[in-house]
Amino acid sequence: TIEDIRQNVRTIAKAMHADSKGEELVKLMDSRLAQVKQQVAALKPQQKKKIVLVSLMSSYGGKGCIFDDMCKEAGVINGVSAAGIKNGQQVTKEMLVKINPDLLIMPVYNDHGNFDIKKYNQEFLEDPSLQTMRAIKSKQLFYPNEGYIYNCSQDVVFGVQEIAHAAYGEAFAMQGAQHLRVK
């Protein structure tokens, strides 16, 4: 969870005899999360998007994982979690159709050029069994900076922002790669 990451930052800072730096970093995290929450709070409940992360790890993204926690912070409904699917459980195509997300966050990882992600995504999006899903019918697809989506460091806050950007648009967009650090 994001709280676990806060505790990890504090633990590492303590081990390095830099407790104050750890607290400073946690405050930066909390400040960034508060900014996103403030923007999301302005949305009407009916504007909340149901999203699904399409992952090459087909059992990732369910209830209890960091992605699920990030979705809560971003003000979106994690469709996999809402369907009662726990992290580690396989998400089938039948489940995806039943979840019927408003938006799909698509994979972009290509294993340093060793995996044809474009082919994978094309085959997924053209699969006849998935064509009734709202996200596919309306072409609501988002290709994220996966370094933020799959992040368990203080930079998880940018994953939260990336998810909000996917769901709610340019008001949440980041300008280039960002990282939280203290001097």
Domains of the chain: 2-172 (3.40.50.1980)
Pairwise CA distance, residues 107 & 98, whole Å: 21
Question: What is the percentage of the chain residues whose pLDDT exceeds 90?
Answer: 84
Q: What pLDDT, on a 0 to 100 scale, did the predictor assign at position 59? A: 84
Whether the per-residue pLDDT at 175 is higher than 90: the answer is no
Q: What pLDDT, on a 0 to 100 scale, did the predictor assign at position 58? A: 80
Residue-wise pLDDT for 86-127, tens only, equals 999 999 999 999 999 999 999 998 888 889 999 999 999 999
Average pLDDT over residues 55-82: 93
Predicted TM-score of the model (pTM): 0.93
Per-residue pLDDT band for 140 (boundaries 50, 70, 90) equals very high
Question: Which of these, 168, 86, 99, lies nearest to 130 by C-alpha position?
Answer: 99
Question: How many of the other CB atoms lie within 10 Å of CB of 6?
Answer: 18
Q: What pLDDT, on a 0 to 100 scale, did the predictor assign at position 85? A: 95
Eight-class DSSP state of 16: T
Residue 50 buriedness (CB in 10 A; 0-12 / 13-18 / 19+): buried
DSSP 21-57: HHHHHHHHHHHHHHHHHHHHHTS-GGGPPEEEE--SS
Q: What pLDDT, on a 0 to 100 scale, did the predictor assign at position 146? A: 84
Beta partners for residue 53, in sequence order: 105
